[in-house]
Structures are given as C-alpha cells and as structure tokens.
Amino acid sequence: MDEITIFGLPIPNAGPVFLAALAVHVIAGLACVICGAVAALSRKGGTRHLRFGRIYIWGLAIVFTTMTILAAIRWRENAHLVAIGSLAFTAGLVGYLNRRRRPYLHITGMGLSYVALLTGFYVDNGPHLPLWNRLPAWSYWVLPSLIGLPLIARAIKRALPAKRATP
C-alpha cells in the first residue's frame, strides 16, 4: 500500500473512505485536545468548564467512531489503537456519567480519557514528529501517563473536602 505525506506525516493511501474518516478523526481529535485542556483548566462547575467538557466528550465519541472505521480498514496496523481508543472512550463515559454524583470518578475518568487520547496520538504519530522522533518507542506509551497521572492525583486531592481541625 502506498502512502501520501501530509505535513510530514505519512498517511496510508487506503482509499477514499479511509481518507474521509481520517479527516474527521483528525479534526475531532484536535477539538478534543483543545477542549479537554480548556475544561481541565477552567473553574469547575463554571459555564466554560461545562461547555468545553461537553464538546470534549462528543468529540471523543467521534474520535472513537472514526477510529473504529480506520481500524476496520487497516486492522493489522491499528489493532493496538483500538485498545487505547476503547480505554479513552470508556474512561471518558465513566467520567461524564459521574460528573454530579461522584466527583472523584469524574476527575479520574475524564483525566484518564485525556491521557489515553494523547497516548494513542503519540503511539501512532510520535515516530514522525520533530523531537518525538528522537525518543525511544516505549516513551510514546509512557510519557503521557507520567505527566498526566500526577496531574489527575493533584486534581483529586484538591477536590477532597478540607479536613476540619479538631479543638
């Protein structure tokens, strides 16, 4: 199968359905990265947090759907991305569904979905990105978690109710 190069990234020329799904996938993925960061950095419960969080979860649903199409067309090359994408979407749904009742599950689910989203991106594209292409392959799998998990733990700690001092 031949490849085309777009912005320095090799893209498999797997037909028009693949390329159309990939275009939607990339746009939805970029929306997720931006909206997830905005929601995470916004005041919790505020209008901005809610708006960008909703866009993130809907974008994640689109990323998951298009990832499924891309993987069906090129299963051998993309099966590992299905596992990452399934984890991202499942964690995102758990986080979204627990946004009111269990804030710790909300933080954990949404945070893990964002980490998995970035992991999938770097595993698939890291070897072709400037600077990232100098890193060993294992780092694409590990670095998003090394950065994201402490941030998730910090957010959970901040969300814990303050302990009252006893007299």
- Please classify residue 58 by burial: count the beta carbons closer than 10 Å to its beta carbon, then call 0-12 exposed, 13-18 middle and 19+ buried: middle
| 122-126, 145-149, 162-166: segment of lowest average pLDDT | 162-166
Residue 15 domain-assigned? yes
Residue 119 domain-assigned? yes
Q: What is the pLDDT of residues 61-109, one digit of tens each?
A: 999 999 999 999 989 888 999 999 999 999 999 999 998 889 899 999 9
The number of distinct structural domains making up the chain is 1
Q: How far is CA 6 from CA 128, 129, 155, in A?
A: 11, 12, 37
Residue 97 domain-assigned? yes
Residue 77 domain-assigned? yes
Residue 153 domain-assigned? yes
Higher pLDDT, 84 or 162: 84
Higher pLDDT, 14 or 47: 47
Residue 107 domain-assigned? yes
* Mean pLDDT, rounded, for 113-119: 96
* Mean pLDDT, rounded, for 12-36: 92
Range of the domain at 105: 3-159
